[in-house]
Amino acid sequence: MLGLVSYRDAGEKNGARTLCGVRFCAVYIARGEGMAARLSARRAAKYLKWHRVRYAVFPKDYPCKSAFARFGILPPSDWALRQAKAAEIVRCAMAQRGLRPECARIALLSAAPSAALEAAARELARDVRYLSLCTPGQERIARSLRWDCGASVYEVQRGDHLASDLAVCFDDVPPPFGAVLPLAEVLLKVEYGAAEIEDAAPDWDQNQLICALYAALVRRADEIWVKDVKFPPKAGETANLP
């Protein structure tokens, strides 16, 4: 079960609570950043840990998340959703950088076989004219794309020079020179949106709640959209050596 951290306003009791169709283990904490708020957070974290909760949705801009982290309770990971929305994340990053699909050179890279990369390649190949792959099994993927949608996909061998306007790394593959979108990097921030979430649950972190709804199978990937992509510091123009 996922946790739901809420501010206590009227003597609410910890326990089960349903929000947006998901049943949460809810805890209530004091507002603010002082000693009382920190002690309240510690008690709430102990309660969640006792109920074997590992991930929780927090209020917007909640200042005491570190108290929960000490007990191993973190916000829901967006990794599964990030993989499912990889093509849309790439398109958002392209738009931010003024890269048009008909002329941009986009490279997809991974060190290990990646279903997310293959799905993103299939989606992007519909309109990205210059698409390159550098991943195990790239020959099969390129052949499939040529057969299914007539896309001409370039295959780049590891160690070859890679010229791209944006290189998308799906795991810890060494990034090339130039602009890099590191999908697996936690410092890459992706902001998601979903219908009716803000009206139904305005007090909580929207990204965390959307990830929780996706993990609970209450919202499908096609019911969620990418609102914004924030590159990590210097990731837009990396100088890391391969």
pLDDT computed for residue 242 by the predictor: 35
Q: What residues contact residue 86 under an 8 Å CB cut-off, 6+ apart? A: 116, 117, 119, 120, 168, 170, 183
Torsion 125-127-133-135 (CA) sign: negative
Asked whether 93 and 229 are in contact (CB, 8 A), the reply is yes
How many domains is the chain built from? 2
Residue with token string 């609410």: 12
Whether residues 116 and 67 fall in one domain: no
Residue 205 domain-assigned (yes or no): no
Mean pLDDT of 169-183: 92
Burial of 6 (0-12, 13-18, 19+ CB in 10 A): buried
Is the overall model pTM greater than 0.75, yes or no? Answer: yes
Determine the structural domain holding residue 143 and report its residue range: 80-182
CA distance 234 to 242: 16
Q: What rounded mean pLDDT belongs to the chain?
A: 91
CA distances from 3 to 36, 195, 207, 210 (A): 21, 22, 15, 14
Q: Is 80 exceeded by the pLDDT of residue 237? A: no
Model confidence at 238: pLDDT above 90? no
The three-class DSSP label of residue 203 is coil
Examine the fold and report which residue of 75, 108, 133 is the final residue of a domain before the chain moves on: 75
> In the prediction, which pLDDT does 10 show?
82
pLDDT tens per residue, range 88-122? 999 999 999 999 999 999 999 999 999 999 999 99
Q: Is residue 122 assigned to a domain?
A: yes
Residue 51 lies in a domain: yes
| Same domain, residue pair 45 and 107 | no
Is the pLDDT at 202 greater than 70, yes or no? yes
